[in-house]
């Protein structure tokens, strides 16, 4: 076997010198290097922003969705949406472990795992798309993928359905980052509160802000508003269009007595919500953009343009313990587990 870089630079085709994620194209030949793991892929969980864009481009037609996804992988060697810049994650079984990793990794052949690195950097080959689940952004495939030596993963728990685990692990960073950022007594606004990542963030925000804090959800439609309310984690759920910054600000100002949020977490899957997050947050507060639809130039220049001194954090999908924290929510909250089972199983 050939010796490869731990970060996968040996797979980069163009431009040379980049890491696999920012590269335009990578090598998806499934002959593994000695420090790679070959995965027999079963399911792709496409990033919400990416799947929404693909579905809109396809006009909702599943045949066209499949064609677009296969085309992305053919062009780039990975499922890296050229419009949104995002990917997703996968579930599969370990097929082969490189010789250099033997004795260094706890993984075993035939073990089922979920990768916790983005499809936007994962060498992927799609042989066939078997089924598309538009309601949960998941696609069953026949295919192969490569996990680099530096790649993180989670062995799937036995007590949760596979599709449920995948849905949670896809957004595990959001809840874990919320757990780190929210302090007792904080006023927390979660934009996109009725979605997958938003629901998990609600739980952690309530847990960390405590009885002296305030948790405010923002949802675009009645159905998602009711879903967020049903968790019991929110002091109030506001129905608002997250692209209407002034409306969001005014509604948050009203329910916080004019003080605005200490922490705002953006979990939406649509563009043009940067200023809503900024204006909903007090001077000196913090905005966490988990949404992959975020335009960080718009966020930086938008904050400057409205004279708002806020700390803005890019939504890092990884933080230590994020898989355990997020999966544990399903044990801590029977209500959330029921919601997720209804949505993702």
Per-residue pLDDT of the chain (345 residues; tens, 9 = 90+): 588 999 999 999 999 999 999 999 999 999 999 999 999 999 999 998 899 999 999 999 999 999 999 999 999 999 999 999 999 999 999 999 999 998 888 999 999 999 999 999 999 999 999 999 999 899 999 999 999 999 999 888 888 888 888 889 888 899 999 999 999 999 999 999 999 999 999 999 999 999 999 999 999 999 999 999 999 999 999 999 999 999 999 999 999 999 999 999 999 988 999 999 999 999 999 999 998 788 999 999 999 999 999 999 998 878 888 988 999 999 999 999 999 999 887
Task: Check: CB of residue 281 under 8 Å from CB of residue 287.
Answer: yes
186 and 319 share one domain: yes
Please tell me the distance from the alpha carbon of residue 142 to that of residue 106, in angstroms, as a whole number. Answer: 25
In a domain, 15, yes or no: yes
152 and 176 share one domain: no
In a domain, 85, yes or no: yes
Q: Are strands 187-191 and 261-266 parallel, antiparallel or unpaired?
A: parallel
| DSSP 8-state secondary structure symbol assigned to residue 320 | T
Q: Which of 92, 125, 156 is the last residue of a domain?
A: 156
152 and 177 share one domain: no
141 and 193 share one domain: no
In a domain, 90, yes or no: yes
152 and 204 share one domain: no
| DSSP 8-state secondary structure symbol assigned to residue 108 | -
Q: Which helix (H) or strand (E) holds 263?
A: strand 261-266
Q: Which of 156, 191, 221 is the last residue of a domain?
A: 156
224 and 312 share one domain: yes
336 and 266 share one domain: yes
Domain that holds residue 193: 172-344
Q: pTM of the full predicted structure?
A: 0.80
In a domain, 177, yes or no: yes
189 and 324 share one domain: yes
149 and 176 share one domain: no
Q: Is the dihedral of CA 40, 46, 50, 52 positive or negative?
A: positive
Please tell me the distance from the alpha carbon of residue 273 to that of residue 135, in angstroms, as a whole number. Answer: 23
Per the structure, how many domains does the chain have?
2
The structure tokens 């509604």 sit at 251
142 and 177 share one domain: no
In a domain, 56, yes or no: yes
| Backbone dihedral region for residue 17 (phi beyond 0: left; psi -120 to 50: alpha; all else: beta) | left
235 and 197 share one domain: yes
In a domain, 42, yes or no: yes
In a domain, 4, yes or no: no
**Which positions ≥6 away from 257 have C-beta within 8 Å?**
none
- CATH number for the domain including 178? 3.40.50.720
203 and 337 share one domain: yes
In a domain, 161, yes or no: no
Q: Considering only CA atoms, which of 119, 62, 44 is closest in space to residue 86? A: 119
What's the Cα-to-Cα distance from 337 to each of 170, 200, 232, rounded to whole Å? 16, 10, 13
Q: Is 41 exposed, middle or buried (0-12, 13-18, 19+ CB in 10 A)?
A: buried
Confidence at residue 29, expressed as pLDDT on a 0 to 100 scale: 97
Confidence at residue 1, expressed as pLDDT on a 0 to 100 scale: 59
Confidence at residue 157, expressed as pLDDT on a 0 to 100 scale: 84
Q: Which of 126, 156, 186 is the last residue of a domain?
A: 156
């Amino acid at each position: 076997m050939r010796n490869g870089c731990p970060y996968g630079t040996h797979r980069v085709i163009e431009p040379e010198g980049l890491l696999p994620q920012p590269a335009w194209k990578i090598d998806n030949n499934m002959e593994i290097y000695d420090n790679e793991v070959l995965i027999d892929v079963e399911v792709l969980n496409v990033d919400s922003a990416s799947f929404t864009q693909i579905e809109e481009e396809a006009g909702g037609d599943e045949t066209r969705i499949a064609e677009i996804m296969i085309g992305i992988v053919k062009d780039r060697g990975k499922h890296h949406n050229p419009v949104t810049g995002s990917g997703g994650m996968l579930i599969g079984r370990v097929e082969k472990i490189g010789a250099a990793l033997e004795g260094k990794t706890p993984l075993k052949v035939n073990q089922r795992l979920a990768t916790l690195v983005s499809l936007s950097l994962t060498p992927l080959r799609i042989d066939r798309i078997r089924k598309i689940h538009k309601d949960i952004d998941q696609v069953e495939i026949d295919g192969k993928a490569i996990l680099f030596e530096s790649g993180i993963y989670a062995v799937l728990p036995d007590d949760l359905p596979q599709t449920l685990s995948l849905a949670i692990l896809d957004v595990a960073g959001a809840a874990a980052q919320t757990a780190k950022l929210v302090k007792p007594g904080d006023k927390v606004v979660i934009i996109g509160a009725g979605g997958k990542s938003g629901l998990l963030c609600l739980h952690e925000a309530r847990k960390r802000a405590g009885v002296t804090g305030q948790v405010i959800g923002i949802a675009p439609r009645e159905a998602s508003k009711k879903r967020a309310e049903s968790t019991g984690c929110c002091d109030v759920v506001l129905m608002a269009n997250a692209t209407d910054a002034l409306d969001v600000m005014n509604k948050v100002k009203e329910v916080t007595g004019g003080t605005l949020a200490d922490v705002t977490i953006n979990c939406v899957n649509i563009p043009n919500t940067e200023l809503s997050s900024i204006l909903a947050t007090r001077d000196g507060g913090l905005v966490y953009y988990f949404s992959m639809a975020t335009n960080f130039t718009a966020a930086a220049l938008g904050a400057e343009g409205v004279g708002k001194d806020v700390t803005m954090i890019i939504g890092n999908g990884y933080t230590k313990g994020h898989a355990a924290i997020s999966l544990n929510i399903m044990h801590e909250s029977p209500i959330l587990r029921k919601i997720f089972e209804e949505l993702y199983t």
